[in-house]
Structure 1
């Protein structure tokens, strides 16, 4: 059976982007039907209208509230349709790009992608896998100043995706050749 891959690129750069190149190689390695989402196509920030619509029970939403959630519903639909998420993430100023944070805000919805329980939040999008492809200029992935990889692993788990792999091309400004070789070796070792 062919798997469906949701390929997300968060780099502001289209040309010369390490994460775009490595995430494309990852998608090719995993092989499957691909849904592609480029986050540089400016996702909106959530606002009061969106928040009010989100917390209004579905059956009570006005047409304007339903419209406010349309993009969020579409983004969540892409995740639900996927078996694997491949997310290309450059680390900007020690964290994730604002475009990726906007995507996270739009897809983290109580009652849709996670539920509150007596034991805390429970992710609802189980049975999926995520491969996070990170590139950094100077930050070592997993170090105390890496605020991206742990955050993304947590967000994936928060929505129910606990099978998360990190592919890191870190510290590219120190030794790009070594960083890319390490990341390419990780991609080559991925199980389809």
Structure 2
């Protein structure tokens, strides 16, 4: 039995294009694999705290030496990482805000980037080695403009960032779908184009 972890980061609900696209990706996976179990982590409903000194000190304290306060401080991180470790497939969705991802998703990434758990350093200024092997991910994004090509492409710090982050922690990104150009062709047409682009690799 395989597990899908569906990560939602839009603060909007019914009007969110990224939520609709992410749901469509999950549905396409379920069409092929009806027995897959879906776990949803909605960052808008259960927002990750932004990292502060207590989180960072707790991360770098050996597990056997952590105080009760430190264990409480990293509870969100530990729970999020357990979901991640249990998952076989991730569906990560985010709207584009100011050329990049939502702050909710960035805070979530900060909690799951844990040395010795999701990555390990290779030293010498090299990229870390990802420890989350044998996992696949799909990315679902939405934007008012068109950022996959043309004049705005160099301003896309959303999808490339998500792809790079997941790759660094060892996850293989097998698809990225965009509901883009909503302010140009309208939300419905942008979503329809995105739905038609969905291709499941498994």
Fold shared, TM-score > 0.5 on shorter chain: yes
Give, in angstroms, the shift of residue 164 of structure 1. 3.7
The CA RMSD measured in Å over matched residues stands at: 1.4
* Counterpart in the other structure of 2:140: 133
Residue number among 51, 59, 64 corresponding to 1:59 in the alignment: 64
TM-score, length-normalised on structure 2? 0.89
* Counterpart in the other structure of 2:33: none
Is the contact made by 1:123 and 1:161 (CA closer than 8 Å) also made in structure 2? yes
State the secondary structure of the residue aligned to 1:181.
Answer: helix
State the secondary structure of the residue aligned to 1:5.
Answer: strand
Say whether 1:14 aligns with 2:7: no
Residue number among 87, 90, 98 corresponding to 2:95 in the alignment: 90
Give, in angstroms, the shift of residue 191 of structure 1. 3.2
Is the contact made by 1:75 and 1:107 (CA closer than 8 Å) also made in structure 2? yes
* Counterpart in the other structure of 2:53: 48
Count of residues paired in the alignment: 190
Instruction: Please list every run of at least 4 consecutive aligned residues from structure 1 whose deviation after the TM superposition is greater than 3 angstroms.
Output: none
State the secondary structure of the residue aligned to 1:144.
Answer: helix
C-alpha distance in structure 2 between counterparts of 1:102 and 1:154, whole Å: 16
Is the contact made by 1:139 and 1:146 (CA closer than 8 Å) also made in structure 2? no
TM-score, length-normalised on structure 1? 0.93
Q: Mark the runs of 5 or more structure 1 residues left unpaired by the alignment.
A: none
Give, in angstroms, the shift of residue 68 of structure 1. 1.0
| Larger displacement relative to structure 2 (141-150 or 4-13) | 141-150
State the secondary structure of the residue aligned to 2:82.
Answer: helix
